[in-house]
């Protein structure tokens, strides 16, 4: 009788553990899949990026508005520095700067995310809240890009996503030959064009 009780108890515990693992597994998957996934199609290949809307809601909303408008199609990676980052989303192949579609957004660099390898962040001027359409993907973690204080030079750059597939493409872009064009340094000699940016599956 005691053996039967122990067996029943053991089976109940197993069932509970199974349920917990299934339930938590489902929640984890749902949480991950709830983040928007975008594909950046370039002339060097595709880059897939997960956008962290929970950590950087304003940056993600802003980026997706530009995506939906087709704003990035035909723009280039206009600033490329090896062992640092690749920056794009604001210039055409002839180095003409595109006007922004929306007002500059609030800098969300205080969200705790670091500008680590593979992260995508909003580019900005010396003004803290000046980001519009331009973004950059880091190929090395420089702490100087992270939030370290309240002044413009210490506030940092808001990370709003991370590359989940296509880092080989990022490194390929990072390695292209660069020079000076239209008064801008670190411009790829042969343009690396963003053919389109769209939500995955669309």
Closest by CA to 158, choosing from 116, 120, 117, 118, is 120
23 and 44 in a single domain? The answer is no
Reported confidence tier of residue 202, pLDDT bands at 50, 70, 90: confident
179 and 86 in a single domain? The answer is yes
187 and 135 in a single domain? The answer is yes
53 and 110 in a single domain? The answer is yes
78 and 166 in a single domain? The answer is yes
pLDDT of 33: 55
Looking up residue 66, the CATH number of its domain turns out to be: 2.40.100.10
29 and 40 in a single domain? The answer is no
Tens digits of residue pLDDT in 15-49? 444 444 444 443 333 334 599 999 999 999 999 99
Residue ranges making up the domain that contains 65: 35-199
Say yes or no to pLDDT of 192 above 80.
yes
Tens digits of residue pLDDT in 146-180? 999 999 999 999 999 999 999 999 999 999 999 99
29 and 44 in a single domain? The answer is no
29 and 120 in a single domain? The answer is no
Q: Is 201 left (phi over 0), alpha (psi -120 to 50) or beta?
A: left
159 and 105 in a single domain? The answer is yes
The neighbour count for residue 137, using CB atoms within 10 Å, is: 27
114 and 126 in a single domain? The answer is yes
43 and 8 in a single domain? The answer is no
90 and 185 in a single domain? The answer is yes
Contact in structure between 95 and 195 (CB atoms under 8 Å): no
Output phi, psi for 66, to 5 deg.
Answer: -65, -40
Tens digits of residue pLDDT in 86-141? 999 999 999 999 999 999 999 999 999 999 999 999 999 999 999 999 999 999 99
Number of domains into which the chain is organized: 2
């Amino acid at each position: 009788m005691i053996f039967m009780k122990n067996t029943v108890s053991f089976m109940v515990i197993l069932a509970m553990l199974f349920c917990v693992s299934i339930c938590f597994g489902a929640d984890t998957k749902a949480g991950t899949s709830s983040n928007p996934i975008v594909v950046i199609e370039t002339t060097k290949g595709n880059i897939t990026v997960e956008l962290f809307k929970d950590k950087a809601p304003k940056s993600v909303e802003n980026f997706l508005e530009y995506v939906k408008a087709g704003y990035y199609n035909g723009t280039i990676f206009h600033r490329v520095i090896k062992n640092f980052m690749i920056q794009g989303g604001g210039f055409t192949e002839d180095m003409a700067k595109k006007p922004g579609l929306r007002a500059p957004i609030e800098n969300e660099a205080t969200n705790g995310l670091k500008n680590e390898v593979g992260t995508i962040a909003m580019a900005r001027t010396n003004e803290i809240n000046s980001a519009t359409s331009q973004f950059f993907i880091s190929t090395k973690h420089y702490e100087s890009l992270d939030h370290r204080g309240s002044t413009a030079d210490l506030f940092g750059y808001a990370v709003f996503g991370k590359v989940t597939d296509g880092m080989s493409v990022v490194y390929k872009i990072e390695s292209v030959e660069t020079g000076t064009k239209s008064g801008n340094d670190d411009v790829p000699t042969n343009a690396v064009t963003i053919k389109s940016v769209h939500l995955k599956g669309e």
